A = this chain, B = another copy of it.
Amino acid sequence: MKTYRKELWFEIPTRRAFVNITSDIQDCINESGVTEGLVLVNAMHITASVFINDNESGLHHDYDIWLEKLAPHEPVSQYRHNVGEDNADAHMKRQIMGRESVVAITQGKLDFGTWEQIFYGEFDGRRKKRVLVKIIGE
């Protein structure tokens, strides 16, 4: 069994953003030499997500509006967790979008459907944050 580990680092200039990391994850698989196995990709922060969906700017706009409806940033006083911080909503948004994705590796490739792409979802940016890539297989 082979295992592989890498951290991807981000410093998003805005509070919220979605970043396509599909080619970074494929690069990790190539580096690992694993041709059959699983890759776990997870945010290492509790106000960020890793998720799989469409690479389409209209959709990302819709997600942003929708998440703001389900877990509004303002008023910050509505959350008890906002003590000396204003990022409580980011902990909610991240639960809806999820912390992690597990993806199959087949014949050395991300085993994805036609429209599947993997994203880093930032909900409390403007600081250095990271994603963990862990691969196991052979």
Contacts of A28 in B (CB 8 A): none
Closest to A51 in B: B95
Q: How far is the CA of A136 from the CA of B91 in the complex (A)?
A: 29
> How many copies of the chain does the oligomer comprise?
3
Bin the interface of chain A by size. 35 or more
1/0 contact string of A36-61 vs chain B (CB within 8 Å) = 11101011111000011110101101
A81 adjacent to B95 (CB under 8 Å) = no
Main secondary structure on A side of the interface with B: mixed
Which residues of A69-120 are within 8 A (CB) of B? 70-71, 79-81, 83, 88, 91-92, 94-104, 106, 111-116
Closest to A99 in B: B52
* A51-B99 contact given A38-B136, A80-B58, CB 8 Å threshold: yes
CB pairs A–B below 8 angstroms (11 shown): A5-B106, A36-B136, A38-B38, A38-B136, A45-B115, A51-B99, A53-B91, A53-B95, A54-B91, A58-B83, A102-B102
Chain A residues in the interface with B (C-beta under 8 A): 1, 3, 5, 36-38, 40, 42-46, 51-54, 56, 58-59, 61-63, 66, 70-71, 79-81, 83, 88, 91-92, 94-104, 106, 111-116, 130, 132, 134, 136-138
